Chains A and B, each alone.
Chain A
Amino acid sequence: MKAVFDKNANSLTVSIEGSIDTVTAPELDSQLQANWAGITELIMDLAAVDYISSAGLRVILMASRQMEECDGSMTVRNVNDDIKEIFEMTGFDSLLNLE
């Protein structure tokens, strides 16, 4: 898994590549936390994500919750069919702002 962070004032775009699994999800989480300060708009770009397990869903949920708590917004962008299926299966499609 590789995550590229693009910070622009209060906006942070995270482009993720590879799989978000039991090993890589905690890495993604700590990288997110390191870039978190002052962010009120978070965009997660999943275009290059292969698959996501529940450990990855946890990171997305926590990020979404954190944005809500600071009155910010979070958008999940470029969700492929396989990941969309996971989001629908787990009810995440109704929680997240998918674009």
Chain B
Amino acid sequence: MERLVRHFQFNGEEQLVIEAVRENFPVLREWIAGIVDELQFQSREKKQILISCDEIFTNISGYAYGESIGKVSVKAEYLPSEQELHIVFCDDGIAFDPLKSGTPDIQSRLAERKVGGLGLFMVKKMMDDVVYVRQDDRNILTLIKKSKTENK
């Protein structure tokens, strides 16, 4: 049986496509915030989703294309039967599987504490699932968040 999927458009397009530069994050944030509000995610879940989008977008902006500027496309889909929001990030940058990134040291003293790796660590903690595939020279990363709110 085919699963029912609700696709969210961005300004009439199938997906949001923007240059992967940090300054563009508010465009993504506002779009996702609107979707999450419409789906009546709880406030805590909304923040977790926005933080996770921030971390993934920042990561792509900072590392995927080296010194040059590339694009990132983002799709948003909701699966009512599973009550899951799927946010799919695609870029044409260098292959990078965030699921293979190491666990940061969160016990070290102030002087030794590093922030590198913390963002992806947070994403993995806050999302119900994170799926990475490398396909046709593209990085495809899906963030999955289940809603605790009924009746969408």
Q: Point out residues on A near B: beta carbons under 8 Å.
A: 19, 21-23, 50-55, 57-58, 61, 64-65, 68, 81-82, 85-86, 89-91, 94-95
A23 touches B25 (CB 8 A): yes
Q: Point out residues on B near A: beta carbons under 8 Å.
A: 22-23, 25-26, 29, 43-44, 47, 50-51, 54-55, 57-58, 61, 106-107, 109-111, 113, 115, 118-119, 121-122, 125-126
B118 touches A54 (CB 8 A): yes
Q: What residues on A are CB-neighbors of B23 within 8 Å?
A: 23
User: Nearest CB to that of B24 among chain A residues?
Assistant: A23
Q: What residues on B are CB-neighbors of A54 within 8 Å?
A: 55, 58, 115, 118-119, 122
From B26, B111, B119, B121, A68 is in contact (CB under 8 Å) with: B111
A81 to B51, CA, bound (A): 15
A59 to B34, CA, bound (A): 28
B25 touches A22 (CB 8 A): yes
User: Nearest CB to that of B121 among chain A residues?
Assistant: A90
User: Could you list 17 A-B pairs, sorted by A, with CB under 8 Å?
Assistant: A22-B57, A22-B61, A23-B22, A23-B26, A51-B50, A53-B119, A54-B55, A54-B118, A55-B54, A55-B119, A57-B118, A58-B115, A61-B115, A82-B47, A89-B125, A90-B106, A95-B109
